[in-house]
Amino acid sequence: MTTARAAQPAVKQKQRRPMLRYILKRIAIVPISVFVLGSVSFFLTFLIPGDPAITILGDFATKEQIAHVNAQLGLDKPVLERYVSYWTNLLQGDLGTSFFTNEPVLSDLGKFLPNTIELVFFSLLFALALGMTIGVIGAYFARRLPDRIMSGITSVLQSVPDFFLALVGIYVFFFLLGWAPAPIGRLPITAGSADERPFLIFSSLFTGDWETLGMAVSHAALPVLALGLVYASYFAKTARGSMGTALTTPQVEFARACGLRERTVVYYAFAASRTTVITYVAILFGSLLGGAAIVERVFNWRGMGQWALDGVLKVDVPIIQGFVITAGLLTLTLFLLLDIVVLLLDPRVSYE
C-alpha cells in the first residue's frame, strides 16, 4: 500500500521515473496474489466435514451421483495431483461445471456478473452523491444545527441492515403506493428474452431502446435505493471527517482571505480530500460484489452474489471456487487501479 509522506527530493533524483517503477512493482506482485488466491480457493474444499460427496448431495444420493461428485472433486487421486490439475484447468480458463445445473461456471459468471456490476455501480453512485452531500454539509456547518441533523441521519442509515431496508422499500413503494414494480427480477415477466442481455441498463441506453430502459430503471430503483441509502452513511462519515479536517487547514483560511467565493473555497477543500473518497469507493465496490448478495436475493436480481450464495448454500464447490477466484481477481485489479489513481491525484504519496 501507499503511504502519505512528504516527498524526499534526494531519493527521487537517484531513481529515474519513480512513478513508473512503482507501478511496475505493484503489477509484479499480482501473480503472487493470484497464486495465493487460487490456492485458498483450492483448499476451501478441505473444510467440508465428513464425506464431501454425501455432505453435498444429501443422504439420499445414488451411488452414481456420489461417484460423479467424487470424480469431479478428484477425491480418488492424491492431493498433489489434484492441485496440479486444478491449476492446469484454471490457467486455461476452465472453472469447472456446477454439480447441480451442469452449467459451466464461466458461462454462469458471464451471465450474472454484469447484473451485479450494474447494480453496484448505480448504488455506489447514489450513495456517493447522497453521502457526500450529507458529509460536506455537516463539515461546513460543524457543531451547528445542520451538522447535528446530518450526523443523526448518518447514524440512522448506519444502523439499518440493507436487506431490512429493502423489505421496507418493497412494502411502502410496491404494496402501499404501487410506484415500484414487483420485486421479481430486472424486468417484468412479459419482457421475455430481453432479460438475458448483459448490462441491461447500459446497453438499452446506448442502443436507444427506451422502453426496455424504462422498465429496467424502474426495477432497479428499489435495490439501488436500499443499498445506496445504507452505504451513503459510509461516505457521509468519511466526507464529514476528511472535509472537517480540510476546512480547518491554512490553505482554506488563505483562500478565504484572498476573497474567493465560498463555493470555490469548499471546492478546494473537497479536492484535498478526494483521494480518501476514491479509496472508499474502491473498497466498497469490492465488498459489494459479494456483499449485495442478500439484497440481490430479496429482489431476485440474478447477480453474482445471489448466484454465489445459492452455490454456497448447496455446497456447490465449483461455484464457490469460481466466485472466490472471480471476486478476488476483481478486487486485486480494483486495488491496483486505486493505487495508481491515488498516485496520479496526490503528489504527496511516496513511491515505496
Instruction: Catalog residues that contact other proteins under the rule CB under 8 A.
Output: 1, 33, 36, 44, 47-49, 155-156, 158-161, 163-164, 167-168, 170-171, 174-175, 182-183, 283, 286-291, 293-294, 297-298, 305, 308-309, 312-313, 315, 320, 323-324, 327-328, 331-332, 335
CB of 313 to other proteins, least distance (A): 6
Q: What are phi and psi of 259, to 5 degrees?
A: 85, 20
Question: Which C-beta is closer to other proteins: that of 33 or that of 133?
Answer: 33
Q: Which three cell numbers stand for residue 122?
A: 448505480
Closest distance between other proteins and the C-beta of residue 308, in Å? 6
* Residue closer to other proteins, measured from CB, 24 or 29: 29
CB of 282 to other proteins, least distance (A): 9
Q: Which three cell numbers stand for residue 172?
A: 411502502
Query: 319, 108 in Cβ contact below 8 A?
Result: yes
CA distance 34 to 91: 11
Cα(352)–Cα(333) distance, integer angstroms? 19
Residue 224 contacts residue 129 (beta carbons within 8 Å): no
- Which three cell numbers, joined as nine digits, stand for 272? 484535498
What minimum distance in Å lies between the beta carbon of 47 and other proteins?
4
Q: How many CA atoms lie within 13 A of 2 on its CB side?
A: 29
Q: How far, in Å, CA of 60 to CA of 246, rounded?
A: 64
Nearest distance, CB of residue 348 and other proteins, angstroms:
20
* Residue 52 vs 228, nearer CB to other proteins: 52
CB-wise, 213 or 319, nearer to other proteins? 319
Q: Which three-class secondary structure state does DSSP give residue 160? A: coil
Give the span between the Cα atoms of 340 and 337, in whole angstroms. 5
- Hey, what's the cell of 158? 448506519
DSSP 15: S
The nearest distance, CB 163 to other proteins, in angstroms, is 6
- Given the complex with other proteins, which of 57 and 289 has the nearer CB atom? 289
Q: Which is nearer to other proteins, 227 or 298 (CB)?
A: 298
> Shortest gap between Cβ of 60 and other proteins (angstroms)?
17
Nearest to 97 by CA among 60, 123, 71: 71
**Cell numbers found for residue 351:** 513511491
Q: Which is nearer to other proteins, 283 or 340 (CB)?
A: 283
